Amino acid sequence: MISCVIFPLRTMPAAVFVTTFIVSAAHADQATINTMTKLAKDSCLVGTQFYFNASANGNITFRDPTKPGGQGEIKVDAREGTGAVAIFSDNIRVVADQQIRDCMHPYVMEIFTYIKNNPAPPVTRIIKGQTVGSHAGDPAGDGNDALACVYAEDGWSIVPNSGSLVQDGQPANGSIGITNTEYNSQHFCVTYHIIRTDRGRSAQANAHAQAVQSRPAP
């Protein structure tokens, strides 16, 4: 949940306001940071060519695309603390004029503070298991149980409730029925079988398990 406190900044004109974001969350929230950067851009950069962006992992970028090469770009990692603030403050003098710098300063400091006070979100990745099949032949019943699993890599863990069974193509002469699912921090498994539609013909289904794994941000 996000609560906002609006207060005038003493060193800026009375019409300029800074928004303090107080966020109760385990990690830095990208949506919150997007709101903060949008506020900065709407307040200071409307009608200019400047690019400004920040991410929950700590990267902050300010760029003048009209300058050649990397001359117009500032990139810092806000999680490096006061050193990153100093680098950003020094380098923006080369990229932007005094008016823009003065306007951007309180917003940038709010973003730096928020990122420093909230851990980076965990790294996530979708992982897929091997395809397994269920076949129905003779006698004329449903297919065998097939066990589809996916395993987390070393140093990673399966995100709870992120697993699913993904069909590889359309089942032939039937549909998939799930018998059982099993979760723990290191694997997700699902047992399924082909449910035959026409008992007079064979049936086949192929599918694999899929889940999201995560690890703490570096």
pLDDT digits (tens, 9 = 90+) for 135-182: 998 776 889 999 999 999 999 999 999 999 999 999 999 999 999 999
- DSSP secondary-structure letter at 163? -
Question: Are 82 and 174 in a shared domain?
Answer: no
Phi then psi dihedrals of residue 91, to 5 deg? -75, -30
Question: Are 72 and 88 in a shared domain?
Answer: yes
Question: Are 150 and 186 in a shared domain?
Answer: yes
Question: Are 175 and 190 in a shared domain?
Answer: yes
pLDDT of 33: 95
Q: Are 156 and 162 in contact (CB under 8 A)?
A: no
d(CA 204, CA 195): 9
Domain that includes residue 21, residue range? 2-117
Q: How many domains does the chain have?
A: 2
Query: Could you tell me if residue 207 is left (phi over 0), alpha (psi between -120 and 50 degrees) or otherwise beta?
Result: beta
- Mean pLDDT taken over the chain: 86
Region 35-54: what's the mean pLDDT?
Answer: 94
What pTM, to 2 d.p., does this model score? 0.63
The stretches of the chain forming alpha helices (DSSP H) are: 30-44, 82-95, 98-117
Question: Are 13 and 89 in a shared domain?
Answer: yes
Question: Are 131 and 111 in a shared domain?
Answer: no
CA proximity to 73, closest of 49, 97, 54, 92? 92
pLDDT digits (tens, 9 = 90+) for 87-108: 898 988 889 999 999 999 999 9
Question: Are 110 and 10 in a shared domain?
Answer: yes
* Residue ending a domain, choose from 92, 117, 142: 117
pLDDT of 25: 52
